Amino acid sequence: MGLFLVILLPQQVKADEEFAYVKVEAPFLDLHTGPGRSYPIFYIAERGEWIKVLKSKTTWYKIRLDNDKEGWVSRDQIAKTFNLYGKRVELKDPDFNEYVNRTWEIGIQHGNLEGASVISAYGAFHFTKNISSELHVEQALGNFSEIRMASIDVIHQPFPAAKPFAGLPWVSDVNISPFFGIGTGVIKILPRATLVQPVDRQDQMVFVTAGARMYLTRRFLARLEYRNIVILTSRNENDKVEQWTLGFSVFF
């Protein structure tokens, strides 16, 4: 109970607290009770007032006024403040430009591998706007087996900032960028325990891949991928399988 009370008590202001000073330049600044547009506005800071910016949560900034009132201000309104040097505050909000120039990308995908459900997680490193390398870890769960895959590939994205519907209403800003690549990896097939005489198999695989990315908002993008995989089995014939996945990713 004591711990619970301590948790509920307002946090003491630390002496070594780090914050940024900005000056309100818009006619006023709305202070919300929480980091969201739906939380009520309970106070207003006026033009010329200096505010401390303490922290951020998604697109919201927690600020403190001189009279110790604390509240949450939207990114749009913080962008209308001036810093100590009298310059407009620059907010590096992840936007389309940052998306095109991203370095890291991680994502989760779900799809289908010859009838089995695939769950995939991946991380990508972008060497240039066009060329990237991805590391995938996948698990496919079918009626007869569980399949585990780990793979690495090289991806070429010829038109990273393509807006194919430019000029059309509604969808003119939609970015869909195709990509293709090649890769290799290992695949492990574990037959179901209920099957008779289950034998584990591990093989190497090579694949070609093609797909498209679509920028959604902030750090968010959607990704569709098709893979044509050749499993290099120890038998006389190689297996060919196809995999479709769709998922969401964030970039840094």
Partner 1 sequence: MDIRIQRIFLGFISLFMVQSVFAAEETPVKEQPTVEEETVPVIKVKPIKIEDYSNLQKAKKSQDTELTKDKKNNENPDQKTKPPKKAVDLVDPKILRRTIDIADIDSQDVEIGGFYGVMSVEDFGVNPVYGGFINYHVTEDIFIGARYGQTTTELTSFERLSGARLLTDAQRDLAYYDLSIGLNLLPGEGYIGKNWAFNSNFYATAGVGSTKFAGDQRFTLSWSAGYQIVLQDWLAFHVELEEHMFEIDILGSTKVSNNVSLQSGFSVYF
Q: Which residues bind partner 1 (CB under 8 A)?
A: 7-8, 11, 18-23, 33-40, 48, 50, 52-62, 66, 78, 83-84, 86, 89-92, 108, 110, 116-117, 119, 121, 139, 141, 143, 146, 190, 192-194, 217-220, 248, 250
CB 10, min distance to partner 1, A: 8
Query: Residues for the chain: how many in total?
Result: 252
Nearer to partner 1, 84 or 182 (CB): 84
Taking the complex as a whole, the smallest distance from the CB of residue 192 to partner 1 amounts, in Å, to 6
Q: How far is the CB of 50 from partner 1 (least distance, A)?
A: 5
Q: Residue 89: exposed, middle, or buried by beta-carbon count in 10 A (0-12, 13-18, 19+)?
A: middle
38 or 197, CB closer to partner 1?
A: 38
14 or 236: CB nearest partner 1: 14
Angle 166-171-174 from CA coordinates, rounded to 5°: 75
Closer residue to partner 1 in complex, CB, 208/246? 246
CB of 168 to partner 1, least distance (A): 26
Place of tokens 């695949």: 187
Distance (Å, rounded) from C-alpha 111 to C-alpha 88? Answer: 46
Beta strands in 173-219 (DSSP E): 176-191, 201-217
Q: Exposed (0-12), middle (13-18) or buried (19+): which is 211, by Cβ within 10 Å?
A: buried
Residue 33 tokens read as: 């009770």
| Residue 188, token pair as written in the block | 């492990």
Minimum CB distance to partner 1 smaller for 34 or for 158: 34
CB atoms within 10 A of CB 213: 24
Please state the closest distance from residue 14 (CB atom) to partner 1, in A: 12
